[in-house]
A and B are shown apart, each in its own frame.
Chain A
Amino acid sequence: MNEEKDIFDFIEKRKVDMPNKAYFDNMAQSVIDSQKTKIIPLYKRPITWISTAAAAILVFLIVNFNSPDDLPIVPPQVASDELSKEELLAYVDENIDEFDVEMIAEFVPMDELNAKYEEFQNEMFEDEDADPLESITLENITKEDILEYLNDEDLDFSDLEEDSFI
């Protein structure tokens, strides 16, 4: 009976073209390269956080300390009061990789550094709990505002979900 015949006796394989050895060597190398040069997002690098924290402290110290003796990091030929905050920030941003915790610790006593950092954090986040939308109330929104918004966003009333009006 036909179905008892081994089906594989009636099937013949065709030779498939295989790439040469160089293809596999190149692929291995390209995978290795891709894994070595894989870009880690800046914000995920621990060094970025350390540098950022260090830079933030540094900027604070530069901006707030009056005595030039406390600021050995700033080149001596440039007085700190000649630099604007923006210039300092730009300098730090450009040279962020040059800053490290050890460098700061070398010039600034640790206690002082911790105190300044806390102070800096408090200043930065003192309004953290404030709701930026607090000052906006429905009473302040006019019909014109709504129409202008719809116009700007290229929407019409049918695009708004019912929930939006609740």
Chain B
Amino acid sequence: MSKPLDDKHIIDLFNRGGKHSDLAFKAIVSQFGEVLYSQIRGITKNHEIANDVLQNVLIKVYQNLSEFKGDSALYTWMYRIARNETLNTIEKEKRRAGVDLDAPILEIKAGHSVLDGTTPEMITDTLQEAIATLPEKQALVFQLKYFEELKYSEISTRLNTSEGALKANFHHAKQKIQEFILNKLNH
């Protein structure tokens, strides 16, 4: 597998146009496609919808990459697009009867009284709701650490953020999610 390109390299390549743009865009999809898909699929719980959303996200990325100023890491920017696109799609698809949904991505182990009274579907939905309430950076770090199981060093490279800051973000994200779940399931 070829070495991942850094953000600056990708953007410079893309802005050169023609075949260079194609190469840059393919590098983006190769480096970030899976994690974007996973993020989207976790919320949409359906491959076809995730496929459509991912395609829309990538089209937006392609159309707007030349305007990307580099104020954040490239992945942060794409994560934001994916998050908005997914939530908008879910909002439009509230009438999702008839769509085959994935099995819940979470299972519950016995031993926690609050969780014992709930179902995997419920805890999965509640977790996604909780993530949606988080500030973007915390949600992003949580996604990469908890679901993608990336090392802090990898996330640090990807997001241009120190490992210490990432650990703090992840800790706060977990705390807030926990509070959200307990509040929601206790009532």
Q: Specify which chain B residues have a CB less than 8 angstroms from the CB of A25 in the assembled complex.
A: 26, 29-30
- Of all chain A residues, the one with the shortest Cβ separation from B45 is A16
Question: A12 to B178, Cβ gap below 8 A?
Answer: no
Q: Specify which chain B residues have a CB less than 8 angstroms from the CB of A32 in the assembled complex.
A: 22, 25-26, 62
Q: Specify which chain A residues have a CB less than 8 angstroms from the CB of B178 in the assembled complex.
A: 6-8
Q: Specify which chain B residues have a CB less than 8 angstroms from the CB of A24 in the assembled complex.
A: 29-30, 33-34, 37
Q: Specify which chain B residues have a CB less than 8 angstroms from the CB of A10 in the assembled complex.
A: 108-112, 115
Question: A2 to B22, Cβ gap below 8 A?
Answer: no
Dominant secondary structure of chain B at its interface with chain A: helix
B interface residues, tally (CB under 8 Å)? 43
A16 to B177, CA, bound (A): 21
Q: Which B residues have a C-beta under 8 Å from some C-beta of A?
A: 22, 25-26, 28-30, 33-34, 37-38, 41-42, 47, 51, 54-55, 58-59, 62-63, 102-115, 123, 127, 146-147, 174, 177-178, 181-182
20 contacts between A and B (CB under 8 A): A2-B114, A3-B182, A5-B112, A7-B114, A8-B146, A10-B109, A10-B111, A11-B108, A11-B115, A14-B103, A14-B107, A16-B41, A18-B34, A18-B37, A19-B37, A27-B29, A31-B25, A31-B62, A35-B59, A35-B62
Q: Which A residues have a C-beta under 8 Å from some C-beta of B?
A: 2-3, 5-14, 16, 18-19, 21, 24-25, 27-32, 34-35
